[in-house]
A and B are shown apart, each in its own frame.
Chain A
Amino acid sequence: MNHNIILDVQGLSVNYQTYYGTVSALRDVTFKLKEKQSLGIIGESGSGKSTLAFSIMNYLASNGSTDGNILYQGENILEKSEREMVGLRGNKIAMVYQNPYSSLNPSLTIGKQLDEVTIFHRNLSKKDARKESVAILKDLYLGDAEGLVKRFPHQISGGMQQRICIAMALLCRPDLMILDEPTTALDVTTEAVILDLINDLKKRYQMSMIYISHDMGVVNKVSDNIAVMYRGEVVEYGDKKSMFHKPEHPYTRALINCIPRSGIVKEEYRLNTIPGYVRKRSIDEGGCPFLDRCGKRVENCESRYGLREIAEDHFTACDRAFAKDVADDSLIPKKVDVIEKTEDGEALNIVNLYKTFNSRGKKVRAVDGLNFSLKKNNVLGIVGESGCGKSTLGYTVTGLLKPSKGKIYFDGTDISMTWKRRSPEVLKEIQLIFQNPGRSLNPSFTIEQIIGRPMKRLLGIKSKTERRERIIEILKQVDLGKEYLKRKATQLSGGEMQRVAVARAFVLSPGLIVCDEPTSALDVSVQSSVLNLLTDLQQRSGASYIFISHDLNVVNYISDYIMVMYLGRIVEFGKRDEVTSPPYHPYTEALLSAVPDVDPALTKGAVRLEGAPPNPTKKIKGCPFAGRCHKKIGEICENVTPEPVGFGEIHSIACHLYSAD
Chain B
Amino acid sequence: MRRILHDLKSNPLAIAGFAVLFLWIFLALAGPSLMNFTYTEMDTQNQIAPPGTGGHLLGTDALGRDLLARIVTGSRSILTVALFTSFFSTAAGIIIGFSAGYFGGLVDKIFLRILDVLMSIPALVLAMVILGVLGDSTIMSLTLMISIAYIPATARVARGTLLTHKGREYVDAARIMGENNFSIMFRQILPNTLGPIIVEATARFAYSIMMVASLGFLGVGLQPPTPDWGMMVIENKQIISVAPWSVLYPALAIASLVIAISLISDFFSKVLIHES
Residues of A within 8 A of B (CB): 19, 398-400, 419, 424, 427-428, 430-432, 434-436, 439-445, 453-454, 457-458, 504, 508
Contacts and interface: CB of A to CB of B under 8 A. Distances in A.
Contact of A399 (B176, B179, B188, B192): B176
A439 B172 CA distance: 10
Given A430-B176, A440-B168, 5 more contacts: A424-B178, A442-B170, A444-B191, A453-B177, A458-B178
A439 B170 contact: yes
A434 B173 CA distance: 9
Contact of A457 (B168, B170, B177): B177
Interface in B162-214: 168-170, 172-179, 188, 191-192
A413 to B, nearest CB: 16
6 contacts: A431-B176, A436-B169, A439-B170, A440-B170, A444-B192, A457-B177
Interface string B137-174: 00000000000000000000000000000001110111
Nearest to B6: A19
Given A400-B172, A434-B169, A453 B179 contact: yes
B274 interface: no
Contact of B175 (A400, A434, A458): A400
Nearest to B190: A444
Contact of A432 (B176, B178, B192): B176
A235 to B, nearest CB: 33
Given A19-B3, A19-B6, A441 B179 contact: no
A320 to B, nearest CB: 40
Given A444-B191, A444-B192, A439 B176 contact: no
Contacts of B177: 427, 453-454, 457-458, 504, 508
- The secondary structure that dominates the B interface is helix
B6 A440 contact: no
B173 to A, nearest CB: 5
B178 A440 contact: no
Contact of B176 (A398, A445, A453): A398
A427 B173 contact: no
A432 B179 contact: no
A427 B178 contact: yes
Nearest to B178: A457
A424 B176 CA distance: 9
Contacts of A441: 170, 173
Contacts of B170: 439-443
A630 B135 CA distance: 84
Nearest to A516: B169
A439 B272 CA distance: 18
Contacts of B168: 439-440
Nearest to B10: A19
A435 B172 CA distance: 13
Contacts of B3: 19
A420 to B, nearest CB: 8
A580 B178 CA distance: 39
Interface in B1-53: 3, 6
Contacts of B178: 424, 427-428, 454, 457-458
A457 B188 CA distance: 14
A454 B178 CA distance: 7
A213 B188 CA distance: 36
A479 to B, nearest CB: 21
A34 to B, nearest CB: 43
Nearest to B170: A442
Nearest to B169: A440
Contacts of A435: 169
B185 to A, nearest CB: 13
B176 A442 contact: no
A398 B174 CA distance: 12
A611 to B, nearest CB: 30
B192 A443 contact: yes
Contacts of A431: 176
Nearest to A399: B176
A428 to B, nearest CB: 8
B169 A419 contact: no
Nearest to B181: A420
A657 B91 CA distance: 65
Interface in B77-125: none
A424 B178 CA distance: 7
A508 B6 CA distance: 41
A440 B167 CA distance: 10
